[in-house]
Amino acid sequence: MIKEIDPKTFVMNILNGVATGVVVVLIPGALLSELFKALVGVLPQLTVVLNALNMSNSLMGVVCGISIGMRFGFTPIESFSLGLATHLASGSVIFKNGSMVMNGTGDIINMIVTATVGALVILLLKDKLKSFSLLVIPPLLLAVIGVGGLLLYPYVSQITAWIGIGVKHLTALQPGLMSILLAEVFALLILSPITTVGIALAVSLSGLGSGAANLGICAAGFGYAIMGWNVNPHGTSLAMFMGSPKMALPLVVRNFKTFIPIAADASVLGLLAYIFNIQGTPMSAGFGISGLVGPLNHINLASGGWNIINVIVALMVFIVAPIGLAFLFKYLFTKVFPLVQENDYQLEM
């Protein structure tokens, strides 16, 4: 069975599965989180919805694992087993003092590593096990692959810490240059398996640095959505910036040139962050416009708070500018300097 799948197809199945899983998990929070946070003070009964959104985030590992299994055409038993193993290795499940707590989304890199090994094991064994699959696959993947991934987690998660050190050095640069570079870096990080929120928290990225990082993510979200508007379902394109641009991860791996228009977009937005002094917190950095976290935090932190000028600035830099720049660079890089084509941005969701 494994010989029938070429390496490129195997890799793209893993990445497309992860991209789909990430969007399914993050979309509920992106659409509802800030709204229900505002309403819960008036209607405490809505706390149950906020809890549900947190639960959704913490189940990213199991959803990604099942999504990958579906990509490979695995049976339900095989897909669910891969989901359990991936979830255990994600790091979002914390075992302490005999209790189990789910916290955060987990480490996507470790999910990919674990799911890759698990998928290989299933492909190697599925034709040999036949009717014994139910007895072998679930315990094998959970007790061996899942536990192995969990043991690997502390080491793989250090990758985020190392990248955080590099980001920390950027914050010591001149503010204008820092803003441009942070926007570029976070535009690329949101398209990778790295968690942008984790990086921001690791280095306590706040103030102008947080605002620039959020605008870099806006560049990626609006950029990939608009570049692929004519070749992807419109709902998929909308989910790109409403949920997470991370669903474009397979596109970057398949053709890195697709990032060039986004990099140009991010550099201009980083400059706008400096000019308009866009603000944020370590918790808001890494979200972009998803859930309106970026613009709402800027308005709350900006001098004068919720006045008309701050609201207009937030709308201009978080929505109008990213959309306008995305169309501009789409025209430049597909017509004037044809480095990419619209078909390069087609997603397999």
Round the CA-based radius of gyration of the chain to a whole number and report it: 21
Same domain? For 185 and 329 the reply is yes
DSSP 276-324: TT----TTTTT-TTGGGHHHHHHHHHSTTSS-HHHHHHHHIIIIIHHHH
Confidence band of 2 (pLDDT split at 50, 70, 90): low
Computed over every residue of the chain, the mean pLDDT equals 90
- Percentage above 70 pLDDT, the chain: 99
Q: Are residues 274 and 292 in the same domain?
A: yes
Give the separation between CA 276 and CA 303, rounded to whole angstroms: 11
19 and 135 in a single domain? The answer is yes
pLDDT band of residue 68 (cuts 50, 70, 90) is very high
| Shared domain check, 228 and 273 | yes
The pLDDT score that the predictor gives to residue 3 is 55
Domain that residue 302 falls in:
159-345
Together in a domain, 332 and 197: yes
Mean pLDDT of 249-269: 95
Q: Are 57 and 185 found together in one domain?
A: no
The domain boundary residue, chosen from 104, 134, 156: 156
- For residue 195, pLDDT over 60 is answered with yes
% of the chain at pLDDT higher than 90: 58
pLDDT of residue 111: 94
Q: What is the domain count for the chain? A: 2
- Dihedral sign from CA coordinates of 43, 45, 50, 53: negative
Q: Is 43 exposed, middle or buried (0-12, 13-18, 19+ CB in 10 A)?
A: exposed
Last residue of a domain, one of 90, 125, 156: 156
Regarding whether 251 and 315 lie in a shared domain, the answer is yes
The mean pLDDT value for 134-162 works out to 92
Instruction: Extract the tokens encoding 141.
Output: 């993947």
Residue 48 and residue 36 in one domain? yes
Q: Which residue has the higher pLDDT, 340 or 31?
A: 340
Task: Provide the 10 A C-beta neighbour count for residue 194.
Answer: 20
Residues 115 and 204 in one domain: no
Same-domain check for residues 138 and 32: yes
My answer on whether 175 and 228 are in the same domain is: yes
pLDDT of res. 54: 82
Residue that terminates a domain, selected from 130, 156, 182: 156
Contact by Cβ (8 Å): 65, 118: yes
The strand pair at 99-102 and 93-96 is best described as antiparallel
Rounded CA-CA distance 66/328 in Å is 38
Q: What is the pLDDT of residues 199-237, one digit of tens each?
A: 887 788 889 999 999 999 999 999 999 999 999 998 888
Are 55 and 199 within one domain? no
Check residue 104 and give its pLDDT: 78
Least confident of 19-23, 90-94, 241-245, 330-334: 241-245
Q: What is the pLDDT of residues 13-67, one digit of tens each?
A: 999 999 889 888 888 877 777 778 878 888 888 899 888 888 888 899 999 999 9
Q: 94: part of which helix (H) or strand (E)?
A: strand 93-96
